[in-house]
Each structure stands twice: as structure tokens, then as C-alpha cells.
Structure 1
Amino acid sequence: MTQPVPMTELWRGPLLESLHLGHAVICDDSGQIVHSWGDPNAVIYPRSSAKMIQGLPLITSGAAAKYGLNSEHLALACASHSGAHIHTDRVTAWLDHLNLSEHDLRCGPQEPQDMAARDGLILADDTPCQIHNNCSGKHCGFLTVAQHMGAGPEYLEIDHPVQQACLSAIEETTGETSPAYGIDGCSAPNFATSLVGLARSMAWFASAADRSDRASDAAQQLTAAMIKHPELVAGENRACTELMRAMEGRAAIKTGAEAVFIAIIPEKRMGVALKITDGTTRAAECAIASILVRLGVLEAENPATLKFMNAIQYSRRGLECGIIKPAPGFPG
């Protein structure tokens, strides 16, 4: 089947109010498809779900070791953070460590998703800066690699050594030649790949402990950092953070804009990639949770799971009014 399939439903009272279709793939450590829904060959932009791939050059280049980066730095390099103080304080310290400043970032300013941080800016009559950008950790990683390479400051240009290293990492781990790139919300190039290619890359990360090469060691470090610091990868009340906590180290997961989601499952040597075609985040969160439950690494009745899958919807007065749940037969 090459058409997207029903993955997530939103019911209000007795009626199906919204139906979200998508594609998803699970690959094993050989890169083969274990299961797929819809079109595994659908070409997508992975958006922020590929940040751990973009983080590989940070380690393989020797930059992380040279600058003494720890697991918190690596988690932030993979993060789409909420702009809370636990994120922005660490990004500021990272820039200081490089003898750089917010002005050296190229990600653009963004209002923090964290309410306390947002309210703090309002009370201080201040405005968001680039450090609040959810991708500022990734950009600190780019700057670290650029400084280590002695490359120029415009690290987002497509022919810059940093972006060429990211392209090589994408193509090597997906096993594909990227057919195109687009500009992400943070202004960085985002290299397209097929959904199966993305799942294959995540399975490569998941099986990294079976290999001894430098890139695989980097993949282990990045996966471990995400699992160790779920609060840095996203933030409180966010799906990535809450579901990783609920899985207690069994998997690393990462969202991407426009309803992309990946999972790295080391104990099963499997990788997962999915895309909801209408770009709705709530649908992708429900879909990835349902796949993780099916694979046995997430408990269906865990309170964190129930925030995103089989999630009761309430009115603003607290009246139960609907539910977000997997579509019948998905994931099977």
C-alpha cells in the first residue's frame, strides 16, 4: 500500500471529528523493513527528528572531545527545547565556553514555549533572543564544529564544511543519496530522505553498540545523552520528555516539525520513523506512542502515555468531551 493510512482519530462525543493519515516504518539492525504502514518510500523532510544525525560530526570530528563537551551538551545538540532556564542557561554557558555570544548564532529569535520563561520576559519588558530558539543547542553544536575546523562563521551555508558533514552523515546512515534540501525553521538546511531511510538510520543508531567504529561510538553517545537527559531534549509536559521518562531508558525519541517522529530502540536494535501527512503534532504523538506500546517498550496505562494516546479531551470547564486515540487496526 502506497497511500497514507489512518493512524490517529479525534472523537468528540459520538462523532469522529478528525482523522489523521500517515506513513510509518520500523527497520531492524540490517536496515530491512520489519513493518510498515502507508508508503515506506515516501520522501520527507525529517526536520528536527534528524538532530542526532546532524550531531554526529560534533563527535566524529573531534570537536566534542577538544572542547570537553559532556552528555548535557550532546542532549542539547539533539534538542528542540522549550526555552526554559534549564535550556537557555546551558546554551549561554556553552557559547561562553567557545568565547562566542548570542550574536554568533544563526537560528533567529523565538518566543520560548516554556510559560515561566515567556512570562519572565514579559515581566522584564524583554524580548526573546536566539538563545530561546528551540534549536539553539543544535546551533551551538554547529558552531563548535565550525570553530574546531577553523571554518567560517556562516555555518548554515550549504557548502560550509559543517553542512557538508551533516549531509554526509545523513546519506551514510540512511543508505541513500538525499534528493533535495529545504530550509528549516531555524534557517539550517534540512536534507530530505525517504521514510524507510530515516528508519534505517534510527536502527543504525539503535544497533551502534554492536560496532566499534568512530561513528557508531558517536551514535551511542548521542542516544545515551538523550535518554539520560529527557528534560533537555524537549521540556516539561512535552511528548519527547514525558515518554522517554516513562520508558525508563528503553528508547530515545524525537519529534520534528510537521508531524515527524522517530524512535531509537537499542534493546531491540530497531528504528522507527513516521510522518502524519497533514502535519498535526497531536496525531504524530499519539501514533509514536501507539507504536512504542506495540513494541513493548512503553506501558499503555502509564500516565505519561495517556497524555498522548487514548488521551481524554476536556472542555475549559473540565468537562470530558472527547478522546484522541489510535485509528482501528493501527498499529495492529
Structure 2
Amino acid sequence: MEASPVLAEVWRGPVLESVHRGAVAICRPDGELVEAWGEPGRVILPRSSCKMIQALPLVESGAADRYGLTAEHLALACASHQGATIHTALARDWLATLGLGDGDLRCGAHAPYDTAARRALRNRGEHPCQVHNNCSGKHCGFLTVNAHLGGDAEYVDPDHPVQRAVRAATEEVCDETVTAFAIDGCSAPNFAVTLKGLATAMARFARPAEGFRGIRAQAATRLRDAMAAHPELVAGEGRACTALMRAMNNGTVVKTGAEAVFVGILPEQGLGIALKIDDGATRGSEAAIAALLVRHGALDAHSPAFRAYADHPIENRRHIVHGHLRAAETLFD
């Protein structure tokens, strides 16, 4: 089997010390493959990169409007957030609107990634709640669909009506039949798709009128625009998704997933990007997505955000620059 191409490199002085290999697919809404590195037909678990797909039933079912959800709620539904106050307060209010609480979530608890929130919990002698889970917004969305449908409490069961709706949406927007799934870190099923299928779905979010019809086009537009308008809710301070979307400020949306998956939704270009780094290193996926955004005119190569992720100096403990993390030159050729 041929090795995947190098998408990011780590240099120490003049020596190439490490590489991150992977695959990329870039598609149009009709499924046309515009560019690819590696095998675009590779089947992957999209992990959290597909949260906007998982949120489609929230809007399409009428649940979002029934419960008065705002663009902020929709952005949080698509988020892998830091567990900062802006995230947890919104999640708690959302649950209260449904007449539910933290115990109704099925995502599990973990310490917030946000330093201030983590320190505040420790100072109060409190343990993390499920709203601190980076996927709690997605799960609030699932609970909203469930309340609308009248399903039972175990909404993460793969055979639950909520997850059947997510699976159907995944197959339809990716133009693929899901043949496998795995349970994600938040206990929800994650449906396997090809990179090409995922890139096609992202292109359809970029140009919903070309890729979808009726209610789905409206739902995709609302979710995409909510993410673009509220990048701080999609991830948080110091995170690549938030920093890159702020730097572009042109409606382009990016979303990371665990194990070094990244997607891009480029409305101006009408393109969708999906990539996966073989070794699961986030630094590799962040470098690659930043380079691809520059390649297709969504991000300025001179912006600090580009340099932070695709041409990042590496310092030693005396703050002397001794190397660089760089996107591979093949992504710029």
C-alpha cells in the first residue's frame, strides 16, 4: 500500500525531524472532486467535524423553531467547545428551556478545557458537570429533537429515532450508504464516510441552493451562518477553529474533529474540504487546513492566524526559535 503524502512537516534547524501524512478531498456540491491528496475514497470516522450534519434534524424537524433557538444555540449545537462560561451558561439555559437538567445529558463529564473555568471549579471544590463536556451543545440539540419527537431518554442509542434521523441525513448529504459506525467519546454514534463524501457534504453547506432543496437548504444555511457568526461558541479562545474563522471573517467555516480530522466550508468558492492526518496529530491537521484555505483564497497568507498554524516557529525553553511546524509545500504548489 502506497504511503499517504506528507501534509505537514516539523523542522529542527536544517533537519526534517517529523512529518504528518494524510489525505485530502476537495469537492463541489455536485460531488465533483476538484483536488485530492492521498486517497479521497478512504473511509474515516469524521468525529466532531460532522456536527453540522448531526444538527440538521434539529432544524429540519421544526424542533429549533418550536423551542425558540437562536443562532447562538445553533452554533453551540455544532461546537466542540472549551467549557468556558459562555458555553456552559448557554447550555444550562437551553436545558432549562426544555425543562431538563445536566442529568438528562448522555455525553458524560470532563474537566473544562478553558483554564479559567477549570480553575474556578477547583477553587470552589466542585466537580465538572456534563455541560462542561465539549460536546454538550450537540447533546442539547439531540435532546431538543427528542423532546420534539417524544422519544425515550436514551437518545444516543444508535436505533433511537434521533440517531436514525442523523444517520439518514449523513447518508443523504454525503451521497453514501453508511456501512459502519463507532461510538464517539461523547457516547453518540459516529457514522463512517469517505473523505470525498464528507467534502461533498461540506460543499453543499457552502452552496445549499446547489446541493440541497427546500427545508434542507434553509437548515444548512442557518447552521453554517450561525457557526460563521459565532466562532467563539464553536470552539473558544486559543482554538484553531475560532482563530481561523475570525481571521477570514468572510463566511468561511472550519471545524475540527478528534484524531486530526478537519473540514472547511467555503461559500465564496463553492467548495468543501475534508482532510485526515494518519497519525491523529492535531498540529498536522491545523497546518494542512490553514494551507488549503490560503490555496483557495479564503485566508490571507500574511495573517497571524495562518502563521500560527501553518508556519509556526518552535521555541526552546529559553524562547530561542530552533525550528518550525510548516504545512508541506505540496499544498501550495
Runs of 4+ more than 2 Å apart: 209-212
Question: What is aligned with 2:7?
Answer: 7
Letter in 2 for 1:158: P
TM-score normalised by structure 2 residue count: 0.98
C-alpha displacement of 1:306: 1.1
- Counting matched residue pairs gives 332
Amino acid at match of 1:137: G
Identity %: 54
Which residue identity is paired with 2:331? F
The match for 1:131 is 131
- Offset from partner CA, 1:54-103 (integer Å, 9 cap, x none): 00000000100100101000000000000000100100110011110000
Q: What does 1:161-310 align with in structure 2 at a 5 Å threshold?
A: 161-210=161-210, 212-310=213-311
**Aligned residue in 1 for 2:39:** 39
Q: CA deviation at 1:14?
A: 2.0
Does 2:113 correspond to 1:113?
yes
Cα RMSD after superposing both structures: 1.1
Amino acid at match of 1:282: R
CA contact (8 A) 1:2 1:39 kept: no
Local SS of the residue matching 1:173: helix
Q: For 1:187-238, what per-residue CA distance to the aligned partner results, in whole angstroms no more than 9, with x for missing partners?
A: 1000000000000110111111445510111000000000000000000010
Aligned partner of residue 165 in structure 1, secondary structure: helix
TM-score, structure 1 normalization? 0.98
Residues 91-127 of structure 1: CA distance to partner in whole angstroms, max 9, x if unpaired? 0110011110000000000111111011111111111
Matched-pair contact (CA < 8 Å) for 1:181–1:189: yes
| Aligned partner letter, 1:307 | A
Deviation, structure 1 residue 6: 0.4
Question: Aligned partners of 1:4 and 1:331: how far apart in 2?
Answer: 17
Q: Which amino acid aligns with 2:146?
A: A
Tell whether the 8 Å contact from 1:228 to 1:249 is kept in structure 2 after alignment.
no
Equivalent-residue separation in structure 2 for 1:2 and 1:94 (angstroms) = 48
* Cα contact 1:24–1:36 (8 A) shared by 2: yes
Q: Distance in 1 between matches of 2:329 and 2:253?
A: 26
Q: Is the 8 A contact 1:250 1:297 kept in 2?
A: no
Q: Deviations 1:238-267 (Å, cap 9, x if unpaired)? A: 000000000112310000000000001111
Amino acid at match of 1:129: C
Q: How far apart in 1 are the matches of 2:244 and 2:143?
A: 30
Deviation at 1:30, TM superposition (A): 1.4
Alignment-derived partner of residue 331 in structure 2: 330
Question: Per-residue deviation at 1:2?
Answer: 6.2
Map of 1:319 onto structure 2: 320
Q: CA deviation at 1:268?
A: 1.2
1:18 matches 2:10: no
Aligned 1:69-84 pairs, distance under 5 A: 69-84=69-84
